Amino acid sequence: MIQLNLLPDVKKEYLKSQRMKRNIITLSILASIVAGALVLLLALYVHGAQRLARNQLQNDINKSSTELSGLSDINKILTVQDALATLPSLHQQKYINSHLFDYLKVLVPNDVSLTKVDLAHTAGNTIKINGFSTDYKSLNVFVDTFKNAQLAYGSADHRTTISPFKDVTINSAGKSSDPQKPGIEFIVTVKFDPLIFDAKSENPVMQVPAVTTGQGFIKTNNLFNGSAESSTQPQGSAK
């Protein structure tokens, strides 16, 4: 049996293009259907599921608000929580005045005793010191100790050293009227750098260099009472 191909090549190409056209149309229709389905699902999610979720969340918020409103002393609880939240920042801003006791252990010589110490941060950062010394020389050493003192603070890797006391003023100095406390009764005012009490000053250590103190007082003979006793007068305020 002999078979003859009666379709020319042009006819074959035409049929092939027709099949390809139908396939493309079919795929386009399927893609459009899939895209439409996705758009529909997204629309249902946005306008349906999300709205339901928002409504559920709002209902939960309203329920929780109602429960909180029904609690007794809720305002006090919230006030305490707000106060606790501010404690860390307030701690960084506070002064640690207890450091003064550690500083005085270094600054006060053995022959000087203190009777009163007033520390003021609002009045120019001053320390007013009342006390007794065995003599004017001891008082002079006490004053010079403050003037030459240094404070080191910071981490172990980075230490900073400052002169913590700006002015040391002798307000008064004279022989004690208390027979139980012989010697020199004095009042000294010291202006200090606020860093020495700052909570952010890490590991503060007061240091006194080994220096020879100056002569803050001179002795003059009393020429008018015929006595050989000498009186000691301060030259003035030590600053």
pLDDT (tens, 9 = 90+) of the chain, 239 residues, equals 555 555 566 677 777 888 888 889 988 899 989 888 888 888 887 777 777 888 888 888 888 877 766 666 666 666 666 665 555 555 555 788 999 999 999 999 989 999 999 999 887 899 999 999 999 999 999 999 999 999 999 988 899 999 999 899 999 999 988 888 889 999 999 999 998 998 888 899 999 877 655 544 433 333 233 333 333 334 344 43
Listed residue (108, 97, 199) closest to 153, CA to CA: 199
| Residue 127 near residue 117 (C-beta atoms within 8 A) | yes
Q: In this structure, what token pair is assigned to residue 140?
A: 């002079």
